[in-house]
C-alpha cells in the first residue's frame, strides 16, 4: 500500500496537486486574498482580468489556501471542460464508443491536463471557450453572450474568440441563424469598453510595459502547434526528444485538413458551412496565427495563453478526417501516443522548485534574524505565501518598485519594502538569491 501511495505521489499527474506553488500561483493566492475592490484595481493594473481571482477568493473561504485546495479549483474546472467537450461531440451527432474515445483523448492533452493542476486562470479560459463555441453550435445566443463576457474578464486572449466569431458569422455563414451572434460581437465590445477605458485611465501595465516573452526562431514557428497541444515551455525542462518528428506529423495532418476544408468549400459552400468546418477552423487557427503574426513585431506567443484553442484544433481535425476511416484512426493513434509520451516527459522532467521544504527549513534560521533580504525580487510572492508570519521582515534589494519589471506581479509588492543595498550591521542577516540560495552575511 505504501509503495502504491509513493508511486501515486511521485509518478502520476496527481503529483502536481502537492508540489510547491511557483511564483505565479503564489501571486494568484496573494491577490485573491485582497478585498474585492483591490482585486479589481490590481488585476486591471496587471496583465490578467479579475474573474479568476474573484472566484479563487470565495473558493479559499470555503476550502483554504493550501496547495491542494487552490489547485482543486482548476481541477474542478478541468472536469467541467471534459463534460462540455462531450456535449459538443453530442451536438455534432457523434455516438457510441467513438464518443468516449475522443473525450478521453481530449482529456489527456498535456497542455490541458497540466494546467488542470495549476492555480492560474488558463483552465477557466478553456472552459469558457468551450461553452462559447458550444453556444454557437446549438444556436444559444444568451449563453454565447454570457460566456463571451465572462471569457473576456478571465483572460485578454479570449478576444481572439470574439474575432473568430465575427469572421465566421460575417464572411462565412451569412444566414439568419447566426446573425444574432454577429450582433453579440457588438454587445460584447460595448460591455467591455468601460473596462478598457478604465485600463487606459489607470495606465495598466499591458499598454506600456516590457514583456518577458522571447522572440521565436524560424524553426520554433514550425513547432508552434506542437507547443500549444503539449504545453511545452521553452527553457523550463529538457527538450522533448521527439519534438521535430511529432511537429512534422502534426503539421502534415493539419495541412491536409486545411487543404481538404477549402477544397470542399469551393465545391459546395452550403455543405461546407453545415459541417461546421470553418467554425472549428476559426477557433483553432485564428488565435494562434494572430499571436504568431504579432510576435514578428513584438514577442507575444505564449502557448499556455493559447490552450483554449486545443479543443478547437482537435475538433477541426475530427471534422475533416472522420469520413476517412483509416486516416481518422491513424490520427487518433498518433494523438494518443503523443499525449502519453509527453505526459510522461512532463511528469519526469518538469518539476517545480520545492519551496515548501526550503522555506520551512529557513524558518529555523530566520527566527532570530532581524530581517530577510531578497536579491531575486521575482520570488517575493512565494516567500510571503510560505512565510506569512515573516512578511513584515522581508525586504527587496532594489532601487524602487518602479525599477522592477511589471510582469513579475509587482502590483502586490508593498511600497515600503525596498532597500537600495544591504544594511551595515554586525549581526548576521539572511540574504536570498535565485531559487532560494541563501547566505548569512554580516556587513560592517
Q: What is the mean pLDDT of residues 117-129?
A: 98
pLDDT confidence of residue 112:
97
As a whole number, mean pLDDT of residues 20-29 equals: 96
Q: What is the pLDDT of residues 269-291, one digit of tens each?
A: 555 545 688 899 999 999 999 99
Do 22 and 155 have their domain in common? yes
279 and 168 housed in the same domain:
yes
From 349, 382, 398, the end of a domain falls on 349
Using one digit for the tens of pLDDT, what is the confidence trace for 248-270?
Answer: 999 999 999 999 888 876 665 55
Instruction: Tell whether 374 and 288 lie within a shared domain.
Output: no
Same structural domain, 42 and 72: yes
Q: Are residues 379 and 270 in the same domain?
A: no
Mean pLDDT of 152-178: 86
Residues 294 and 221 in one domain: yes
Q: Looking at the structure, do residues 174 and 206 belong to the same domain, yes or no?
A: yes
Maximum mean pLDDT: which of 75-84, 212-221, 243-252, 298-307: 75-84
Mean pLDDT check: name the lowest of 108-117, 137-146, 257-266, 292-301. Answer: 257-266
Residues 292, 399, single domain; the answer is no
CB-based contacts of 45, cutoff 8 Å, min separation 6:
202, 204, 205, 411
Top-ranked range on mean pLDDT: pick from 242-246, 304-308, 377-381: 304-308
Average pLDDT, the chain: 88
- Among 306, 329, 349, residue at a domain's last position: 349
Domains in the chain, number: 2
Range of the domain at 67: 2-349
SS3 of residue 395 by DSSP: strand
Predicted confidence (pLDDT) at residue 218 exceeds the cutoff of 80: yes
192: pLDDT confidence band, cut at 50, 70 and 90?
Answer: very high
pLDDT of res. 1: 58
My answer on whether 187 and 290 are in the same domain is yes
Q: Are 184 and 50 in the same domain? A: yes
pLDDT greater than 60 at residue 173: yes
- The pLDDT value recorded for residue 444 is 41
Task: Give the global pTM.
Answer: 0.94
Q: Residue 360: what pLDDT? A: 83
Question: Which of 244, 287, 240, 332 lies closest to 129 in space, CA to CA?
Answer: 287
Q: How far is CA 438 from CA 175, 385, 427, in A?
A: 65, 18, 16
Helix intervals (H) in 276-352: 277-295, 310-321, 325-349
Instruction: Answer yes or no: do 99 and 153 share one domain.
Output: yes
Amino acid at each position: 500500500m505504501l509503495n502504491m501511495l509513493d508511486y501515486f505521489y511521485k509518478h502520476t499527474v496527481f503529483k502536481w496537486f502537492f508540489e510547491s506553488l511557483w511564483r505565479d500561483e503564489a501571486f494568484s493566492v496573494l491577490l485573491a486574498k485582497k478585498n474585492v475592490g483591490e482585486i479589481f484595481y490590481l488585476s486591471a493594473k496587471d496583465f490578467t482580468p479579475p474573474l479568476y481571482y474573484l472566484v479563487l477568493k470565495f473558493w479559499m473561504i470555503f476550502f483554504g489556501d493550501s496547495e491542494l485546495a487552490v489547485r482543486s479549483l482548476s481541477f474542478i474546472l478541468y472536469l467541467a471542460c471534459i463534460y462540455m467537450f462531450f456535449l459538443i461531440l453530442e451536438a455534432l451527432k457523434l455516438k457510441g464508443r467513438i464518443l468516449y474515445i475522443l473525450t478521453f483523448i481530449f482529456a489527456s492533452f498535456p497542455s490541458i491536463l497540466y494546467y488542470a493542476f495549476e492555480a492560474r486562470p488558463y483552465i477557466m479560459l478553456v472552459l469558457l471557450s468551450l461553452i462559447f463555441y458550444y453556444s454557437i453550435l446549438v444556436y444559444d445566443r444568451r449563453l454565447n453572450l454570457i460566456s463571451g463576457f465572462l471569457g473576456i474578464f478571465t483572460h485578454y486572449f479570449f478576444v481572439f474568440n470574439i474575432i473568430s466569431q465575427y469572421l465566421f458569422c460575417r464572411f462565412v455563414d451569412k444566414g439568419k441563424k447566426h446573425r444574432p451572434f454577429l450582433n453579440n460581437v457588438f454587445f460584447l465590445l460595448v460591455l467591455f469598453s468601460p473596462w478598457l477605458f478604465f485600463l487606459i485611465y489607470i495606465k495598466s501595465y499591458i499598454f506600456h510595459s516590457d514583456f518577458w516573452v522571447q522572440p521565436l526562431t524560424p524553426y520554433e514557428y514550425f513547432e508552434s502547434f506542437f507547443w500549444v497541444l503539449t504545453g511545452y515551455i521553452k527553457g523550463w525542462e529538457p527538450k522533448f526528444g521527439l519534438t521535430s518528428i511529432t511537429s512534422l506529423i502534426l503539421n502534415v495532418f493539419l495541412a491536409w485538413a486545411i487543404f481538404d476544408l477549402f477544397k470542399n468549400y469551393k465545391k459546395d459552400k452550403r455543405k461546407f458551412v453545415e459541417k461546421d468546418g470553418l467554425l472549428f477552423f476559426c477557433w483553432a487557427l485564428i488565435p494562434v496565427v494572430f499571436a504568431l503574426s504579432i510576435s514578428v513585431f513584438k514577442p507575444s506567443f505564449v502557448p499556455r495563453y493559447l490552450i483554449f484553442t486545443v479543443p478547437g484544433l482537435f475538433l477541426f481535425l475530427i471534422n475533416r478526417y472522420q469520413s476517412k476511416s483509416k486516416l481518422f484512426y491513424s490520427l487518433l493513434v498518433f494523438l494518443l501516443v503523443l499525449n502519453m509520451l509527453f505526459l510522461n516527459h512532463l511528469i519526469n522532467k518538469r518539476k517545480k522548485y520545492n519551496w515548501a521544504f526550503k522555506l520551512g527549513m529557513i524558518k529555523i534560521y530566520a527566527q532570530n534574524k532581524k530581517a530577510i533580504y531578497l536579491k531575486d525580487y521575482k520570488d517575493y510572492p512565494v516567500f510571503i505565501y510560505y512565510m506569512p508570519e515573516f512578511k513584515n521582515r522581508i525586504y527587496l534589494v532594489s532601487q524602487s518598485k518602479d525599477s522592477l519589471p511589471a510582469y513579475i506581479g509587482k502590483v502586490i509588492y508593498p511600497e515600503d519594502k525596498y532597500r537600495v543595498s544591504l544594511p551595515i550591521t554586525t549581526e548576521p542577516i539572511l540574504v536570498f538569491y535565485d531559487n532560494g540560495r541563501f547566505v548569512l552575511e554580516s556587513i560592517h
